[in-house]
Structure 1
């Protein structure tokens, strides 16, 4: 993976998670404390290092809230911080980084730096305000201890997320995401046809027929005609219906679904497969999406569009992974 791609993917994933955390508190600006929370749930070595020290999302959130209240007390303000609600950033707009948060992410991708989540965490620990060091103290650890643990994970030769196997005439992509929930909880969520609209955002609803959830079972789905915030989405008539097939379901490590448009004869179905593995503090999920390619002359004219197709696949994977993580936060 090139540094440019790694930096782009890391920045995108951390920014989204940080702004989701800010939105729980009714904020529109994400700061370094929200970046810290985003790192706790990162699937990269930075997140693994944090979680290996017993720092999970719930404890990290409490430490951040206690730090906010302590800062208010230092200012002589006798008030508690507003109670957190659910994540609403995907339903609203207007989120951005604070200046110091933005500058920190930029520094992590500078000269002689990798730009991955580990580089962001190192910059965060060097941030001069002392806020993160105080949060770590509340969590029973120190910056030095965390850096030592991060060095151990980085020196272990951690490999990048696997990519999907190349298949003739197909467009495929793969990514990994960390989910702060147990293996059984995540598997049950992904194997439930009723929960599909929560992670496959192009599906608005599923007709739940009384049938066994087993390989080969088919459900009728309907396209999402409204965005999470309520804004209408224009969908062509031939793309309103979905054919949803459960391809594989092996508890507790694998679930695969195939999606097709039965009224759009020229469209190609795609397969989304989830492979689950337990990890410290939750579940590591590998998400692979494979689109069937065209044959003959359609395949030839499709070659110039391959970079765009790969980008579309990556965006779909990113949205699916983010929605899956958000469902358990």
Structure 2
């Protein structure tokens, strides 16, 4: 993944996750504390560093609440704040960053920096208010320890060679704050697919047992979480899902076809699970197989023009998928 792509992925994922955390508290402005919570859930070096030092999402949320209460107490204010609610970001609108959070992103993208998640965390630690340093102290971790761990991870990453990928295949990672057994319980049960697969609203014709070769029908989601209707082509309103492969708590793969749209490409979705500090690391791979019914001349003409758009669509698909799985456990 290029520096630009890594930065774009980090910015998108951190923004969505931070604003989800803000919505959970009834806020419409995401601040540096919400950005910190998003970094705890990051699948890259920033999240790996924080979680390897024992910082979990629950502990970080508690520390943020305690730090806010402490600041109010210093001002002689005792306020009964409502308990956290569920995440409603995708059902509401009007969200924005606070100025300090915007400044962190700007600093992480200035000069030779690209705004990757580890660079965002470095800038967050030295943010002028000192809020994050106090937060880390509550969590029993020093800023130097976090920076040292980031340095170690950067050195390790520098020795890794990028994997080659087919132009219609994309791979991404995501962190889920739940054990592999819990995540497996979600992914391995066909009836639970609407809980985590963003485009699936209903499943039917379920198999008696989930095993390779088992098939079922998935109906497309026809409305957004906020109730607004989604435009779905008539021939794409349902798909046939085949379970291709599975290894308990380790790997699962599906194949999606659209029988009423014979020219549509086939999609393969593969998810690998690995235990990680504080939860589970996912490796998400999506591959589109060209339909044998598609007209080759038309494909040749459009292939070059469509390739960048396809790459972006696949990247966005993986970002949404990883976020959707993680939200189930938040």
Q: TM-score, normalised by structure 2?
A: 0.94
Matched, 1:249 2:246: yes
Are residue 101 (structure 1) and residue 98 (structure 2) matched?
Answer: no
Which residue is equivalent to 2:218?
Answer: 221
Gaps of 5+ in 2: none
The answer for the alignment partner of 2:204 in structure 1 is 207
SS of 2:81's partner is: coil
Give structure 1 stretches of 5+ with no counterpart. Answer: none
Against the structure 1 CA distance between its residues 92 and 280, is the aligned structure 2 distance closer, same or farther, given a 3 Å change threshold?
same
Contact 1:24 1:85 in 2 (8 A): yes
Call closer, same or farther: CA 1:142–1:226 in 2, change over 3 Å: same
Mapped partners of 2:257, 2:59: distance in 1:
42
**Partner of 1:318 in structure 2?**
319
1:67 paired to 2:77: no
**CA deviation after TM superposition for structure 1 residue 277, in Å:** 1.1
The 2-side partners of 1:298 and 1:211 are apart by: 42
Q: 1:170-200 deviations in whole A, cap 9, x for unaligned?
A: 6111101111111111122111112212222
Equivalent position to 2:234, from 231, 234, 237: 237
Query: Is the Cα–Cα contact under 8 Å of residues 194 and 208 in structure 1 kept in the other structure?
Result: no
Tell me, in whole angstroms, the C-alpha distance in 2 between the residues paired with 1:34 and 1:247: 38
Instruction: Quote the Cα distance in structure 2 between the aligned partners of 1:159 and 1:221.
Output: 42
Structure 1 residue 208: Cα displacement: 5.0
1:264 aligned residue (261, 265, 271):
261
Q: What's the Cα RMSD here?
A: 1.7
Q: How far 1:160 sits from its partner (Å)?
A: 7.4
Structure 1 CA distance for aligned equivalents of residues 31 and 159 of structure 2:
30
2:270 paired residue number: 273
**1:273/1:299 Cα in 2 relative to 1: closer, same or farther (>3 Å)?**
same
Alignment check: 8 A CA contact 2:206 2:215 kept: no
How far apart in 1 are the matches of 2:270 and 2:28?
34
Q: Which moved more, 1:313-322 or 1:228-237?
A: 228-237
How far did 1:38 drift? 0.6
- 1:294 CA displacement: 4.7
Runs of 4+ in 1 over 3 A off after TM superposition: 158-165
State whether structure 2 residue 173 is matched by structure 1 residue 172. Answer: no
2:191, 2:206 within 8 Å by CA — same for their partners in 1?
no
User: How far apart in 2 are the matches of 1:131 and 1:233?
Assistant: 41
C-alpha change, 1:223 and 1:163, in structure 2 (3 Å) is: farther
Q: Residue by residue, what CA displacement relative to the aligned partner does 1:54-81 show, whole Å, maximum 9, x if unpaired?
A: 1000000000000111122122211133
Instruction: Find the residue that maps to 1:157 and give its secondary structure.
Output: helix
Q: Relative to 1, partners in 2 of residues 1:252 and 1:159: Cα closer, same or farther, differing over 3 Å?
A: farther
Pair 1:328-2:329 in alignment: yes
Aligned to 2:157, the other structure's residue is in SS state coil
Deviation of residue 152 (structure 1)? 1.9
- Normalising by structure 1, report the TM-score: 0.94
